[in-house]
Amino acid sequence: MTTLLQLEGVTRQFGGLKAVSGVDLSVAPGEVIGLIGPNGAGKTTLVNVITGVHRASSGIVRFDGEDVTGLKPFQAARRGIARTFQIVQPFPEMTVAENVAAAAMFAGAVRYGDEANAEALGHLRFVGLAEMADKRASSLTLAMRKRLELAKSLAMRPKLLLLDEVNAGLNATEVDHALSLIRGIAARGVTILIIEHLMKVVLSLCTRIVVLHHGELIASGTPQEIVQDPRVIQAYLGRRYAAGGEAAEGQSHG
Amino acid sequence: MAEPLLSIKGVHAGYGDVPVLWGVDLAIERGEIACLVGSNGAGKTTLMRTISGLVRATAGSIAFDGAELAAAEPDAVLAAGIAHVPEGRRLFSAMSIRDNLLMGAYLRRDGAAAVEADLKKMYAMFPILAQRQEQDAGTLSGGEQQMCAIARGLMGAPKMLLIDELSLGLAPAVVDQLCDALRALNREGLTLLVVEQDVATALEIAKHAFVMDTGRITRSGESAALANDPAIREAYLGSL
Amino acid sequence: MRKSALLAAVLFLLVALVPLAGDAYWLRLGTTMLMYGVIAMAWNFIGGLAGYPSFASAAFFGLGAYAGAVAQKLGVPMGLAWTLAGALSLAFAALLGLALLRLRGHYFAIASLVVAEVLRELVNSATDLTGGGMGLNLPVPHDATVASQSEFFFYAMLALAAITFAAMLWATHSKLGFGLRCIQQNESAADMLGVNTTLYKVAAFMLSGAFAGAAGAIYASWVHYIEPPDVFDVLYSVKAIVMVLLGGAGSVFGPLFGAAIFLSLEELVWRNYLQVHTGVLGLMIVLLVLFLPKGVFSLRLPWRKGKP
Amino acid sequence: SMAQGTIRIGAPLPITGPLSPEAKKLQNGMNLWVETANKAGGIKVGAKKMKVEIVYVDYQSNTPRAVQATEKLITQDKVDFLFSPFGSGAAKAASSVSEKYEMPTIAATASSEQVYDQGYKYLFGVYTPNQTLTEPLADLVKKQAGGVQRVAILARNDLFPLAIAQEMEKSAKKRGMNVLYFEKYAIGTLDHASALSQIKAVAPHWIFATGYINDLILIKKQMSDLGIEAPVVTMVAGPAYKEFVSALGKSAENVTSAAWWHPAVRYTSKDVFGSTENFNKMFHAKYGTEPDYGEASSAVSGVVLQLAIEAAGTLDKKAVRDALAKMNTMTFFGPIKFGPTGQVVSLDPPVFQVQKGRQVVILPAGIKQGDLQLGVK
Amino acid sequence: MLSLQILANGLVLGGLYACIAAGFSLVWGVLNVINILHGSFIVLGGYLAYYAYAQFGIHPFVSILIAAPLFFALGYILQRSLINRMIAAPVLLTLSLTFGLDLMLSNGMLVAFTADFKKLTLDPPLGVLNLGGIALPVDRLFAMVLALALTGLLYLLLSRSRIGRAIVAVRMDREAAALMGVNVKRIYAVTFGLGALMAGASGPLLAMIFPISPLSGPVYLGKAFVICVLGGLGSVPGAMIGGLALGVVESFGALWFGPEHAITLSFTLLILMLLFRPTGLLGRTGYA
Ligand SMILES: Nc1ncnc2c1ncn2[C@@H]1O[C@H](COP(=O)(O)OP(=O)(O)OP(=O)(O)O)[C@@H](O)[C@H]1O
Ligand SMILES: Nc1ncnc2c1ncn2[C@@H]1O[C@H](COP(=O)(O)OP(=O)(O)OP(=O)(O)O)[C@@H](O)[C@H]1O
Ligand SMILES: [Mg+2]
Ligand SMILES: [Mg+2]
Domain ranges for chain C: 2-13+44-233
E225: pLDDT strictly greater than 90: no
- Ligand 4 midpoint to CA A34 (Å): 26
- Same domain for A62 and A39, yes or no, is yes
Question: Do A22 and A125 belong to one domain?
Answer: no
Contacts of B105 (CB under 8 A, 6+ apart): B115, B118, B155, B156, B157
Max Cα–Cα distance, chain A, nearest Å: 57
Mean pLDDT of chain E: 86
| Ligand in nearest proximity to the CA of A41 | 1
Amino acid A1: pLDDT:
54
Domain boundary among A157, A174, A197: A157
| The pLDDT of residue A234 | 86
Q: Which atom of ligand 2 is nearest to the CA of A141?
A: 31
Which residue is closest in CA terms to ligand 2's atom 7?
A: B15
Do residues A112 and A231 both lie within one domain? no
* pLDDT (tens digit per residue) in A91-102: 888 899 999 999
In a domain, B5, yes or no: no
B43 lines ligand 2 (CB under 6 A): yes
In a domain, residue B223? The reply is yes
Distance CA E240, CA D163 (A): 39
| Closest residue in chain B to residue E283, using alpha carbons only | B94
Give the pLDDT confidence of E250-284 residue by residue, as tens digits.
899 888 888 888 877 877 877 787 777 766 666 54
Sign of CA dihedral D187, D193, D194, D197: positive
- Is B86 touching ligand 2 by the criterion CB < 6 Å? no
Report how far ligand 3's centroid is from the alpha carbon of A198 (Å). 13
Residue B138 has what pLDDT?
A: 84
Q: Do chains C and D touch (3 or more CB pairs under 8 A)?
A: yes
* pLDDT for residue D117 is more than 70: yes
Pocket test for ligand 2, best of B12, B20, B37, B196 (most atoms within 8 A of CB): B20
Are A151 and A219 part of one and the same domain?
A: no
Same domain, A196 and A236: yes
Q: Is the CB of B44 under 6 A from ligand 2?
A: yes
pLDDT of D3 above 70: no
Minimal C-alpha gap between A1 and chain B (Å): 35
Residue A20 lies in a domain: yes
CB E97 within 8 A of CB E84: no
User: How far does CA D153 lie from the centroid of its chain?
Assistant: 21
Measured between alpha carbons, how far is E238 from E240 in angstroms, rounded to an integer? 5
Question: Is the residue at B8 inside a domain?
Answer: no
What was the pLDDT predicted at A250? 39
B38 lines ligand 2 (CB under 6 A): yes
Residue with CA nearest ligand 2 atom 28: B41
Which pLDDT does position C298 carry in this prediction? 56
Judging contacts by C-beta atoms under 8 Å, the chain C residues touching residue E272 are none
- Summarize the confidence of residues D87-97 as an average pLDDT: 86
Q: Tens digits of per-residue pLDDT, C243-299?
A: 888 887 767 888 998 899 888 888 888 777 777 878 888 888 888 888 877 766 655
Mutate: best of E256, E260, E267, partner D, most D CBs <10 A: E260
Chain E residues close to D20, C-beta within 8 Å: 110, 114-115
The residue in chain E having the minimum alpha-carbon distance to the alpha carbon of residue B104 is E180
Q: Hey, whose CA ends up nearest to atom 29 of ligand 1?
A: A40
**CA–CA separation, C237 vs C42, rounded Å?**
11
Chain D: touching chains (3 or more CB pairs < 8 Å): C, E
Ligand 2 centre from B13 Cα, in Å? 11
Mean pLDDT, rounded, of chain A: 87
CA distance C190 to chain A (A): 8
Q: Rounded distance, CA A213 to CA E28, Å?
A: 41
Identify which ligand lies nearest to the alpha carbon of B50.
2
Residues A151, A167, single domain; the answer is: no
Report the nearest atom of ligand 2 relative to the CA of C308.
3
C-alpha distance from B88 to closest chain E C-alpha (Å): 10
Q: Is the CB of B15 under 6 A from ligand 2?
A: yes
Q: Rounded CA gap, C95 and C90, in Å?
A: 9
If asked whether residues A140 and A24 sit together in one domain, one would say no
| Interface touch B94/E165, C-beta < 8 Å | no
In angstroms, the separation between the Cα of residue B39 and the nearest Cα of chain C is 24
Is residue D2 predicted with pLDDT exceeding 60? no
* Confidence at residue E286, expressed as pLDDT on a 0 to 100 scale: 37
Q: In this complex, which of C114, C282, C284 lies closest to E107 when CB atoms are compared?
A: C282
Q: What protein residues have CB closer than 5 angstroms to ion ligand 4?
A: B 45, 87
Q: Which of A125-139, A216-230, C17-31 has the lowest mean pLDDT?
A: C17-31
Do chains B and D have 3 or more beta-carbon pairs under 8 angstroms?
Answer: no
Q: Is residue A85 part of a domain?
A: no
- Across the interface, of E119, E135, E210, the residue whose CB is closest to D227 is E135
User: Which residue has a Cα nearest atom 13 of ligand 2?
Assistant: B41
Q: How many contacts (CB atoms, under 8 Å) link B and E?
A: 69
At residue D75, the 3 state secondary structure works out as: helix
Residues of C whose CB is below 8 A from B16: 305, 308
Task: Give yes or no: residues A28 and A52 share one domain.
Answer: yes
Same domain, residue pair A55 and A136: no
Cβ atoms C61, C213 nearer than 8 A: yes
Which residues lie with the beta carbon below 6 Å from any ligand 1 atom? Answer: A 14, 17, 19, 37, 39-45; B 139-144, 169
A36 and A111 belong to one structural domain:
no
Residue D213 predicted with pLDDT over 80: yes
Chain E, nearest residue to C233 by Cα: E218
Predicted local confidence at residue D61, as pLDDT: 81
| Same domain for A172 and A149 | no
Alpha-carbon gap, residue E83 to E76, rounded angstroms:
10
Chain E CB contacts of D16 under 8 Å are 107, 110, 115
Task: Assess if residue B37 is contained within a domain.
Answer: yes
In which domain, by residue range, is A117 found?
92-157
CA atoms of A229 and B23, how far apart (whole Å):
50
The residue of chain B with its CA nearest to that of C305 is B16
Q: Which residues lie across from D51 on neighbouring strands?
A: D6
Give the residue ranges of chain C where pLDDT is below 50. 300-308
**Paired strand residues for D179:** D151
pLDDT value at residue E262: 80
Greater confidence, B97 or E139? B97
- Chain B partners (3+ C-beta pairs within 8 A): A, C, E
Tell me the residue length of chain E.
288
Q: Which residues of chain B have pLDDT under 50?
A: 240
For residue D346, give Cα distances in angstroms to D119, D339, E159, E254. 20, 8, 69, 40
Cβ(B150)–Cβ(B85) under 8 Å? yes
Chains D and A lie in contact, requiring 3 or more CB pairs less than 8 Å apart = no
pLDDT in tens, D156-207: 987 788 889 999 999 999 999 999 999 988 877 888 988 998 999 999 999 9
Q: Which residues lie below 8 Å from residue A217, measured CB to CB, with a gap of 6+?
A: A23, A24, A25, A210, A211
Cβ contact E183–B103 (<8 Å): no
- Supply the pTM of this predicted model: 0.83
Which of A157, A184, A199 is the C-terminal boundary of a domain?
Answer: A157
For residues B89 and B145, give the distance between their C-alpha atoms in angstroms, rounded to a whole number: 7
Confidence category of residue D103, pLDDT binned at 50, 70, 90: very high
Band (A2; pLDDT cuts 50, 70, 90): confident
Interface contact B107, partner E, CB < 8 A: yes
Contact (Cβ atoms closer than 8 angstroms) between residue A193 and residue A35: yes
Domain ranges of chain E: 2-117+127-276
Q: Into how many domains does chain B fold?
A: 1
Structure confidence at residue E283 (pLDDT):
56
Query: Is A204 in CB contact (< 8 Å) with chain B?
Result: yes
The per-residue pLDDT for A249 is 42
Domain for residue A86, yes or no? no
What is the domain range of residue B211? 29-41+79-237
What integer is the mean pLDDT of E49-57?
94
Residues A151 and A168 in one domain: no
Could you tell me the sign of the dihedral formed by the alpha carbons of A109, A113, A115, A117, in that order?
A: positive
Are the C-beta atoms of D58 and D81 separated by less than 8 Å? no
- The number of domains in chain A is 2
CATH number of the domain that residue B222 is part of: 3.40.50.300
Average pLDDT, integer, range D352-356: 92
Residue A140 alpha carbon, nearest atom of ligand 2: 31
Q: Please work out whether the CB of residue B45 comes within 6 Å of at least one atom of ligand 2.
A: yes
Question: Measured in angstroms, how far is the CA atom of residue A37 from the centroid of ligand 1?
Answer: 12
